[in-house]
Amino acid sequence: MAHCEQRSAERSSGKKVQLFEMMRWISQPMFAPSKKLWTRLQHEDARVYCDRSRCESQTLSLDADLDFFNPVNLDRFVQMYWERWHFSGPTVHKATFDINVAGTKTIFAFTLTRAFMSNEEADVAGARSWLDVAEELIFQRPLLSEHPEAPDFQGGVMSLRDRLDLIRAALLICVLQHWEGSEASRKRIRRSRLSSIIFATREIGSGEARHPSDLNLALRHVDWEEFILKQELIRTQTPIFLLDAEFMLFHNVPPRTGIAELNFPFTCTVLCFEATNPDELWAATDLDSGCY
């Protein structure tokens, strides 16, 4: 009886601490994206640590969700992403990216990427514990599964932007799993997951990863949103090919990217891509005539 009363008291104390933390987190700028992750991770399809064929009968608790993906952590991870990762592979346009409106898959993948950039061992260990969950969450989407023509998770047709965001999140998870995951995870990435990404990019079509033929920046006119979207598509295609080439060269995996699929343009310079508006883009082209 005494033991039961002690356990009950501990649970009550834990709930009070959790409630206190939640009240403190509500005022944080990253509360909205944190809440998105908490809600999605509580969905029954996301609770399993891995798919049924490789399930370890392990689920992650609500406390683990709240602790690792709290707004304070997300704020730290966001800064680390831009400072330590972004310039080594700038596929996201920083000025127009808004984590508050990003999808849960994007937030999940970006958060883990940022966490692995941390100098804190607890951050890295926490990120590693979520890798399999993130992989399963992202690759269960129809675009990356065996039914690429099916509607998205909410029942609608995915926009080009949504498909790009999903592919980019999947690519990040592949890179992280191959660097930080178990040997089984690395084999899975090489043997099947990258293939799913390549098939998904084929569904989009190579023609989408290029600017309109009449684009001429010298005329000082551009559809800003379309320009950024096309650049992000081109910049995402490049690392997909590089990862495929790495698996072929160093792991004896047959290449899955065909020569004809490499017919996409070079990226614009970083100076152009980092422009926050069309005026800055014009200024970049004035400084460097080869900017685009």
Reported as a single tens digit per residue, the pLDDT across 240-249 is: 999 999 999 9
Task: Grade residue 116 by pLDDT with cuts at 50, 70 and 90.
Answer: very high
φ, ψ dihedrals at 275, nearest 5° = -60, 140
What pLDDT shows up at residue 147? 56
Residue 74 has pLDDT above 80, yes or no: yes
Tens of pLDDT along 178-233? 999 999 999 999 999 999 999 999 988 877 888 887 677 777 888 999 999 999 99
How far apart are the C-alpha atoms of 228 and 277, rounded to whole Å?
Answer: 10
Please tell me which residue, 177 or 78, carries the higher pLDDT value.
177
State what percent of residues in the chain have pLDDT above 90: 41
Tens of pLDDT along 6-47? 444 434 444 444 666 766 677 787 888 888 888 888 764 544
Looking at residue 55, its amino acid is C
Task: Grade residue 254 by pLDDT with cuts at 50, 70 and 90.
Answer: very high
Residue 278 has pLDDT above 50, yes or no: yes
The span from the first CA to the last CA of the chain, in angstroms, equals: 74
**Vertex 140: Cα angle to 138 and 146 (nearest 5):** 125
Tens of pLDDT along 146-181? 654 444 445 567 899 999 999 999 999 999 999 999
Q: State both tokens at 242.
A: 């590089």
Q: Are 204 and 197 in contact (CB under 8 A)?
A: no
Query: Which pTM does this prediction carry?
Result: 0.83
Average pLDDT of the chain, as a whole number? 81
What pLDDT shows up at residue 255? 94
What pLDDT shows up at residue 150? 44
φ, ψ dihedrals at 59, nearest 5° = -120, 155
What pLDDT shows up at residue 240? 95
What pLDDT shows up at residue 262? 86
Task: Grade residue 79 by pLDDT with cuts at 50, 70 and 90.
Answer: confident
